[in-house]
Amino acid sequence: MRGLKDEENVTEATADRSPVPPVRPQPVDATADARRIAVIACVLLVTLRLFIGWQLAYEGFWKVSTLDTNRPWTSEGYLKNAQGPFRNAFRNMTGDPDDRTWLDYDSVNAKWNARYVAFDEFYQLSDQQKRQLNVLFEGPPDFRAELDEFPEGAKVPENLANFVEFNPQTQRIIVDGKRHLTQKEKLELLALVDDVLKDEQGALREPPEMNDGENYTNWELARKYSEAIERVFQRATRLSYRERLDVATRIDPEAPRIVFGGFKGTIGDKYTPIDSYYSTLLEEYEEARATAETDYQREHAETLYGEIVELKNALVGPVKALDAQLTEDMYGILTPEQRAKGPLPHPWDTVRIADTLTITGLCTLGTLLLIGFLTRFAAAMAGVMVLGFYLAWPPWPGVIEAPGPDHSLVVNKNLIEVMALFALAALPTGRWFGVDGLLVASWHRMMGRRNRVAAENAVPAAPAKSSAAKPSAAKPVAVKSEPTATKSAKDAPSNTYAVAEK
């Protein structure tokens, strides 16, 4: 009896050791993830996504709205002021990071010539508009003022006769457009009638009576002549844009170019033009920035940078303002139909490519975050884009602090936004609230419907044929009978174990 009980225990232990089928991992369900996170956390994360998407989209579409104006948005200034380890890469994208070409007459003039040709081709200017455009660039061929009759006995001085004349047929006093009357030359022309209009002390005479015959006639002619000289002087003092550019950029290289009193324009003991002083400051700053190791050296580099920015604004600012005014006057000669074509396209250079990519990225990624479509991809790409903004001027030790009221060290608003976007890229917020959730739900419904239809249309498998139906050709095996005709149910497990042992 004891042996039978031992066999039963061994049999039960063996049954417990039977192989267990492996547990298959279940597919991740986004709704299950959402249930594991508090509802308020889901709401706040979705709100964060919507806020960032709104900020990016609004910024992008605002930049798009400026493209139809005479002053479209550009990233050129941001790239030129880049600092940090990627400074040269960002600045070199502009081609002229220090705006030195704006101080060169030939460079600006070549830019204006290209704009003139592109403006004419894009808007298909009429002959009259072309003449108006030429007047803007070159100035009028002459300056005129109405004058019925030249004063009797008066004659233009010989030193002015080569560019000042009176035409009795057109009744105009004419000044050559390539010459501009100076104050001294105006006074010489006015002096021709001083004896009629002024007394011996130089004071203006009282006008004679109208019935005073010849005296009144001479006085009236002298008065009209003086008014005509004043008018033609005012017109002749107006410079064309090329002449104004020449004044702003081409000066006597031996003369100092003093813009304002804050800069003395001196280097050592030698008096130097201020534009050369600007170039020298740039070289000193680049050297100071590259070799700065101590706090004092970094502060010195920041001081140089501030002086450079101020000096550049004083030098380049007037030329850029002149360029902007020329652009505005050029658009002023267009008809409403021509203006409807929009602003003149900017040439495809590195800056325009960067502007286009920035505007497209802001509008597209911001919109995707708002509607919750491709949310993780949009958040990741937006994080990479904002990271580029951060690297353009990072608040790192040793890097000049960006101007503005904010003060940061390593972490600023851009970096915080980058981390928030990367966190959103790791969460299925679009499935919680957005187009992504609608698409996933539609996909599940479609797949469930397809599985049900497939199950309904499935053909049941044919039943397997019994092996007893086929006669076996094998030779029957003799089975040795046991001494007892019947066995108890208690002996069955023991015999099974014995067979297994054999």
Phi and psi at residue 287, to the nearest 5° = -70, -40
Q: What is the pLDDT of residues 93-122, one digit of tens each?
A: 988 888 888 988 899 999 999 999 999 999
Contact 197, 223 (CB under 8 A): yes
Average pLDDT, the chain: 80
Interacting residues of 417 by C-beta distance below 8 A, sequence separation 6+? 52, 383, 386
Helical spans, DSSP H, in 17-104: 30-36, 39-66, 76-80, 87-92
Return the H-helix or E-strand segment holding 436.
helix 435-456
Structure confidence at residue 256 (pLDDT): 42
Contact 422, 380 (CB under 8 A): yes
Distance (Å, whole) CA 469 – CA 472: 9
Distance (Å, whole) CA 84 – CA 387: 13
HSE of 499 in the Cβ direction (CA atoms, 13 Å)? 6
Q: Longest C-alpha distance within the chain, in Å?
A: 173
Distance (Å, whole) CA 434 – CA 269: 70
172, two tokens: 């105009």
- Return the closest-CA partner of residue 398 out of 158, 92, 31, 87: 87
Handedness of CA 332, 334, 335, 340 (dihedral sign): negative
Distance (Å, whole) CA 11 – CA 498: 10
Task: Confirm whether pTM is higher than 0.85.
Answer: no
Structure confidence at residue 496 (pLDDT): 39
Per-residue pLDDT of the chain (502 residues; tens, 9 = 90+): 455 455 555 455 454 555 555 555 555 555 555 556 788 999 999 999 999 999 999 999 999 999 887 778 999 988 988 888 888 889 989 888 888 889 888 999 999 999 999 999 999 999 999 999 999 999 888 889 999 888 887 888 888 888 899 988 898 999 988 887 888 888 889 888 888 878 777 777 777 777 777 778 888 888 899 999 999 888 888 888 998 888 777 654 444 444 433 444 443 444 455 667 788 888 888 888 888 878 788 888 888 888 888 888 888 888 888 998 999 999 999 999 998 888 888 888 889 999 999 999 999 999 999 999 999 999 999 999 999 999 998 998 878 888 777 888 999 999 999 999 999 999 999 999 999 999 999 988 888 888 887 887 776 655 555 544 455 444 454 444 444 444 444 444 444 333 334 3
Distance (Å, whole) CA 420 – CA 379: 9
Q: What is the pLDDT of residues 136-190, one digit of tens each?
A: 999 888 889 999 888 887 888 888 888 899 988 898 999 988 887 888 888 889 8
CA 311, chain centre distance (Å) = 25
Residue identified by tokens 């986004």 is: 30
Beta bridge pairs of residue 166:
173
113, two tokens: 């010539």
Cα angle 215, 219, 221 (rounded to 5 degrees) comes to 120
Q: What is the pLDDT of residues 199-222, one digit of tens each?
A: 777 777 777 777 777 778 888 888
